[in-house]
Structure 1
Amino acid sequence: MISVVIPIHNERNNLSRLIPHLQRIRGDHPVELLPVLSGATRDGSAEVLRELGLEPVRCEATSRASQMNAGARRARGTTLVFLHADVWPPDEFFRDISRTLSEDYQAGFFSYRFDNPTLLLRINGYFTRKDGLFTGGGDQCLFIEKQTFEALGGFDPDQVLMEDFEFFRRMKRARTPYRIVHNDMVVSARKYKRNSYLRVNLSNLFLLILFYCGCKPDTLKRLYGKLFRPNP
């Protein structure tokens, strides 16, 4: 079974599209959907999920790392998938995950493209096919064997911004074999719409460098709030 953990903070509109899509593309694959609501969600996401036949997992903590860990603890599958609510998986999503883990890999990620196909964003998307500095970000949708995830200790709940990169760093140190699947997810470009292309890319690079230099998670979170305009 594949367990899909979806951390949620006020994602009502995205969930109403994403959940039916996942239910449609799973086909014959045994799939478990585990939407995890943050303690601060107030937009009716829980009601949307119940209308779609799912009972959300509650997590009083608001950090995405804590939400994903809570979902992983509830998971019954041997494979864990961590999917953001504003990311749209391809139709072959579950087939690609099963095929990758049936080979000599214990984990993987997906390449992605943006829902706003400007030239500059197409360039950004191209580099998600390569193994580089930004590999392992949450929009690439980590999938991993559950026993490997548990052996690595799960996500660090103290990481309130860079939980995906911190976990990927431990994956690499443990020499966990992984693959980047070249079948694009579709990622929301809303951050770029609210901020300029240059601002987003320079800010992301700045924050990642600070993370690798050992900057404290709370400091990174505060800087993030100052660098980016919030989504409406």
Structure 2
Amino acid sequence: MKHSIIIPTLNEEEKISHLLEFLTKNALSDSEIIVVDGGSKDKTIALVKRFENVNLIETKKASRAYQLNEGAKKATGELLYFIHADVLPPQTFEADIEIALQKEYEFGCYRFVFDKNAIMLKFNAWWTRFDFMFCRGGDQTLFVTKDVFNQLNGFDEHYIIMEDFDFILRARKKFKFRIIPKNVVVSARKYKLNSYFKVNMVNLYSYWSFMLGKSPEKIRDNYKTWLKFD
């Protein structure tokens, strides 16, 4: 089964080269890598263009759901693997996904660990092994067959934030979900710029606002107001 690896970017010059170097080294020879940029103002696009075997889609709309859908439209693989620019999967990621598919799982994710060795971050990461909805999220990456993705009409672009939670909730109603028992490595940059307590409180607020049907615009605005980003 051919894999399409899809990466949404927006001003990711600090992280994108490292991920693309990793993927071009470790991905299967017939896998395709697609970067969907949402209008970066830094060197992201120039850095991506250095990789000859990486397909770049440039859009002017900085919305992760939209960017992921655009990548999926261009993807030629039967398996879609969505990954953020500041995440590194295991070297065995494509074999791991194939094993999950052979066991008839149709979509899923990984556990994660942070790239910073702090006890409270280890505590956060520990929870990702459990099948609780609050413990999910795009940082864990997401694999899904293209057939399932199309049946669900992709990501709901109404969700300018929490699009990953919405997709997983909808998918779980009909399809078999797998948490691969290995770790992706996630950047702790959000915690470095803000306090551990503050990030957790904002995440908790965002999750429950989503579950209670609050406006994605309001969730996004509060998220950006309360947290600092690099």
For the aligned pair, the TM-score class normalised by the smaller chain equals: over 0.9
Q: Name 1:4's counterpart in structure 2.
A: 5
**Secondary structure of 2:45's match?**
helix
Please give the secondary structure, in 1, of the residue aligned with 2:37. strand
The answer (yes or no) to whether the contact 2:128–2:136 under 8 Å persists in 1 is: no
1:127-142 maps to which residues of 2 (within 5 A)? 127-142=127-142
Counterpart of 1:162 in structure 2 is 162
| In structure 2, C-alpha distance between the alignment counterparts of 1:44 and 1:197, rounded to whole Å | 29
Distance 1:13 1:119 in 2: 25
CA distance in 2, matches of 1:160, 1:122: 28
* Equivalent residue letter for 1:82: F
Deviation at 1:163, TM superposition (A): 0.4
User: How far apart in 2 are the matches of 1:33 and 1:158?
Assistant: 26
1:183-202 equivalences under 5 Å are 183-202=182-201
Q: Which residue of 2 aligns with 1:117?
A: 117
**After the TM superposition, which residues 11-90 of structure 1 pair with which residues of structure 2 at under 5 Å, given as runs?**
11-28=12-29, 30-38=30-38, 40-53=39-52, 54-90=54-90
2:117 pairs with 1:150 = no
Instruction: Using the TM superposition, give the Cα deviation of residue 27 of structure 1 relative to its aligned residue in structure 2, in angstroms.
Output: 4.3
Measured after TM superposition, the shift of residue 122 of structure 1 is 0.7
* CA deviation after TM superposition for structure 1 residue 12, in Å: 1.8
Look up the equivalent residue of 1:10 and give its one-letter code: N
Note the residue ranges of structure 1 that are not aligned, 5 or more in a row: none
Q: Deviations over 1:30-54 (max 9, x none)?
A: 210000010x312121211111113
Q: Residue 8 of structure 2 contacts residue 67 of structure 2 at CA under 8 Å; is this kept in 1?
A: yes
SS at match of 1:134: helix
Alpha-carbon shift at residue 55 of structure 1 (Å): 3.7
Shift of the alpha carbon at 1:11? 0.9
CA RMSD, 1 decimal: 1.1
> Structure 1: how far apart are the matches of 2:110 and 2:187?
15
Count of aligned residue pairs for this structure pair? 228
What are the ranges of 5 or more consecutive residues in structure 2 without an aligned counterpart?
none
Matched residues in 2 for 1:105 and 1:114: separation? Answer: 26
Rounded Cα–Cα distance in structure 1 between residues aligned with 2:34 and 2:219: 28
Asked if 2 retains the 8 angstrom alpha-carbon contact of 1:111 and 1:128, the reply is yes
Alpha-carbon shift at residue 173 of structure 1 (Å): 2.2
Identity of counterpart residues, as a percentage?
36
C-alpha offsets along residues 11-31 of structure 1, whole Å, 9 cap, x if unaligned?
Answer: 122111111111111245x21
Distance change >3 Å, CA 218–CA 167, structure 1 → 2: same
Mapped to 2, the partners of 1:158 and 1:74 lie a distance apart of 21
For each residue in 1:85-126, what CA deviation from the matched residue of structure 2 results, as whole angstroms up to 9, or x when unmatched? 000111111110111112110011000000001111111111
Q: Which residue of 1 aligns with 2:102?
A: 102
Q: TM-score, normalised on structure 2?
A: 0.96
Query: Distance between the aligned counterparts of 1:207 and 1:18, measured in 2?
Result: 27
Secondary structure (helix, strand or coil) at the match of 1:125 reads: helix
Residue of structure 2 equivalent to 1:181: 180
Separation in 2, partners of 1:202, 1:135: 14
